[in-house]
Amino acid sequence: MQDQEIREILSDTKVIAVVGVSANAARPSHHVAEFLKAKGYRMIPVNPGLAGQELMGERVYASLAEIPAEIAVDMVDIFRASEAVPGIVAEAVAHLPALRTIWMQLGVISPEGAEAARAAGLRVVMDRCPKIDYPRVMG
**For position 139, what pLDDT does the model report?**
82
What is the model's pTM? 0.96
In whole angstroms, give the CA distance from residue 24 to residue 15. Answer: 22
* pLDDT at residue 1 tops 90: no
pLDDT tens digit sequence for 43-71: 999 999 999 999 999 999 999 999 999 99
* pLDDT at residue 26 tops 90: yes
Mean pLDDT confidence for 28-33: 96
Q: Is the separation of the CB atoms in 43 and 58 below 8 Å?
A: yes
pLDDT tens digit sequence for 69-126: 999 999 999 999 999 999 999 999 999 999 999 999 999 999 999 999 999 999 999 9
CATH fold of 3-138 reads Rossmann fold (3.40.50)
- The ranges assigned to domains in the chain are 3-138
**For position 13, what pLDDT does the model report?**
98
How sure is the predictor about 4, in pLDDT bands with cuts at 50, 70 and 90? very high
Vertex 100: Cα angle to 96 and 105 (nearest 5): 95
What are the strands of the beta sheet with 42-46, ordered from one edge?
Answer: 42-46, 15-19, 75-78, 101-104, 123-125
